[in-house]
A and B are shown apart, each in its own frame.
Chain A
């Protein structure tokens, strides 16, 4: 599976838009890009998944350029409760999840 690289940590203020970019240079044709969120003392929670272009749901948007070598998770107007670790995963049907260290987002008042 393609290795992913994302920032170790990010800081933001309440009400701002946060964009977390993930690099996955070796992504294959059949791979999907998936993002998970993990709060302290909880299991990861699925946020969003996409293959190409843009995907939006009630929580976030996911932007994937045409070459699919990177993706950007966008969180609109973050609040203190969005403080968490965000994981970018490249998934292939039938393959296991591989979690990296993720991006630790701290939202400040």
Chain B
């Protein structure tokens, strides 16, 4: 099994550009989420989904959109990139949300110039 796959691994954007970070999991997990991690900091929750068709905001949702049309995929869209969105982005999935081990992708390192 591949687990949680994120693409791309690295990306450089210009301010104002938009892009989509891809996340796919092959474990049939209901719960998926996106985090960002700034240098020396813990992870902060951006958006999450408890199942196909259901999404909700996390701690830092501004500037990001998500959708969950299938169980496997949970893309994160940056609407108009800003330098403050320079960060490492992690996607995670787990069976029943919490109380179970979550699996994280390898991350996408995004730089906005």
Contacts and interface: CB of A to CB of B under 8 A. Distances in A.
B95 to A, nearest CB: 11
A41 interface: yes
Interface residues of A, number: 22
A95 B59 CA distance: 12
Nearest to B42: A99
Contacts, number: 60
B41 interface: yes
Interface stretch (A19-27, A61-69, A85-93): A85-93
A73 B98 CA distance: 20
Interface string A41-72: 11111100100000000000000000000000
Contacts of B99: 32, 49, 91-93
Given A97-B45, A101-B41, A43 B98 contact: no
